Amino acid sequence: MKDFGGRVAVVTGAASGIGRALAGALAELDMKLVLADVEASALNEVAEGLAQAGRSAVAVPTDVSQADAVTALAERAYEEFGAVHLLCNNAGVFAAGLSYDAPQSDYDWCFGVNVWGILNGLRSFVPRMLEAGEPGHIVNTASMAALTSVPFSAPYAMSKAAVLSLSESLYLEMQARSASLGVSVVCPELFDTRIGWAERNRPAHLERKDEEGASPEREGTEQAIKAATATGQEPGVLAQRIIEGVRDNQLYVLAPEGDPWRDACNARLDDLRAGRNPGGAVPGGGE
Ligand SMILES: NC(=O)c1ccc[n+]([C@@H]2O[C@H](COP(=O)([O-])OP(=O)(O)OC[C@H]3O[C@@H](n4cnc5c(N)ncnc54)[C@H](O)[C@@H]3O)[C@@H](O)[C@H]2O)c1
């Protein structure tokens, strides 16, 4: 997708961090925006701010883990603008813990938002985007955690590895069908957002019970994520990288060469090629 102006973008997780920055950057390109998030009041503030700046943005409070809610989001988007050209499946949550000890609710929550949330987006939008036959693009947000060997965050890292795999399948399917839809999977390094405070959006039925899965490693990783993201880059940097990835139809939108997360990814590839066991610490402590 080369042209953005006047076209329609849907961004999930748009109330905060990377999604909010992406919404702002797409608005600068004169896109019409449908913004979704589970945090309704923060979402409304983002949409109102954009509207006050003369941009076209509607807020649709949505829990992406719920298929019906994402179907309703698509209905609303098509009702409002008659088309969708760019779908950014960005909403995500983080949970740390020892793989064998983390409660099922940690896995259910991370997979519900990070994986099923994206699948819900694909199911609700891709058939209609294909039917329209116009140039379009799907952006799925994974993480450099999907491309590196990461301890103490299996619920998150597993979910992001699934997003990578899902995006590769979708890319190859679009190629096989000679479709006009491009696909990108975004694998960010560390950005200054509220991902370390993702628990704020955890639904009551998936709360951890008492000290379930508590461990010094979980505690340490939770602290490390907060500290590392707080000193991370400004999310607008990533928004520009994503836009470039869409324009150039890059499947893999990765941390740049020279970044410690890209080095860790390269080291993992070297380990795989050599059949060697993973050896290193993770930059930033686990994200
Ligand atoms: N910040 C980083 O360093 C980093 C690194 C790698 C990947 N990521 C990924 O980037 C994406 C954006 O996260 P962020 O860093 O901006 O964090 P953030 O917490 O600032 O923003 C995430 C947004 O997703 C929303 N959200 C959570 N659950 C939702 C649900 N069920 N339905 C709809 N919206 C929901 C939150 O309300 C929030 O507005 C996530 O997928 C995250 O995993 C972030």
Dump pLDDT digits (tens) for 252-281. Answer: 999 999 999 999 999 999 999 999 999 865
Q: What type of residue is 98?
A: L
Q: Which residues are catalytic?
A: 156
As a whole number, mean pLDDT of residues 188-192 equals 98
Long-range contacts: 217-222, Cβ < 8 Å, 24+?
Answer: 217/96, 217/97, 217/98, 217/151, 217/152, 218/96, 218/97, 218/98, 218/102, 218/152, 220/152, 220/285, 221/96, 221/97, 221/152, 221/153, 221/285, 221/286, 222/96, 222/196
Tell whether 263 is covered by a domain: yes
Kindly state the DSSP code that residue 231 receives in the 8-state scheme. Answer: T
Tell whether 3 is covered by a domain: no
CA distances to 10, 59, 97, 118 from 138, in Å: 10, 20, 31, 10
Tell whether 164 is covered by a domain: yes
Per-residue pLDDT, 284: 53
As a whole number, mean pLDDT of residues 60-66 equals 98
**Measured from the CB, is residue 19 less than 6 Å from ligand 1?**
yes
Pocket perturbation via mutation, ligand 1, pick of 153, 185, 193, 242 by most ligand atoms within 8 A of CB:
193
* E-only strand ranges, the chain: 8-12, 32-37, 57-61, 86-89, 136-141, 181-187, 252-254
Per-residue pLDDT, 281: 59
CA 94 to CA 261: how far, in whole Å? 18
Strand partners, 192: none
Distance 8 CA to ligand 1 centre (A): 21
Of 287 and 33, the structure prediction assigns the larger pLDDT to 33
As a whole number, mean pLDDT of residues 193-212 equals 96
Dump pLDDT digits (tens) for 68-106. Answer: 999 999 999 999 999 999 999 999 999 999 999 999 999
User: Quick check: 170 pLDDT over 60?
Assistant: yes
As a whole number, mean pLDDT of residues 33-55 equals 98
Distance 195 CA to ligand 1 centre (A): 6
Average pLDDT, the chain: 96
User: Quick check: 23 pLDDT over 90?
Assistant: yes
pTM: 0.97
Report which ligand 1 atom has the smallest distance to the Cα of 188: 6
Q: How many domains does the chain have?
A: 1
User: Quick check: 124 pLDDT over 90?
Assistant: yes
**Measured from the CB, is residue 92 less than 6 Å from ligand 1?**
yes
The CATH number of residue 256's host domain is: 3.40.50.720
Cβ pair 95, 27 in contact under 8 A: no
Distance 198 CA to ligand 1 centre (A): 7
Tell whether 192 is covered by a domain: yes
Closest C-alpha to ligand 1, atom 43: 92
What is the residue range of 157's domain? Answer: 8-285
Per-residue pLDDT, 279: 81
User: Quick check: 164 pLDDT over 80?
Assistant: yes
Tell whether 2 is covered by a domain: no
Per-residue pLDDT, 186: 99
Tell whether 255 is covered by a domain: yes
User: Quick check: 117 pLDDT over 90?
Assistant: yes
For the chain, the first-to-last Cα distance in angstroms comes to: 30
Per-residue pLDDT, 280: 63
Q: What is the CA radius of gyration of the chain?
A: 18
User: Quick check: 286 pLDDT over 70?
Assistant: no
CA 30 to CA 5: how far, in whole Å? 5
Distance 95 CA to ligand 1 centre (A): 12
**Measured from the CB, is residue 105 less than 6 Å from ligand 1?**
no
CA 230 to CA 143: how far, in whole Å? 17
Tell whether 1 is covered by a domain: no
The secondary structure element, H or E, covering residue 242 is helix 235-247
CA 51 to CA 53: how far, in whole Å? 5
Closest C-alpha to ligand 1, atom 23: 13
**Measured from the CB, is residue 245 less than 6 Å from ligand 1?**
no
Closest C-alpha to ligand 1, atom 42: 92
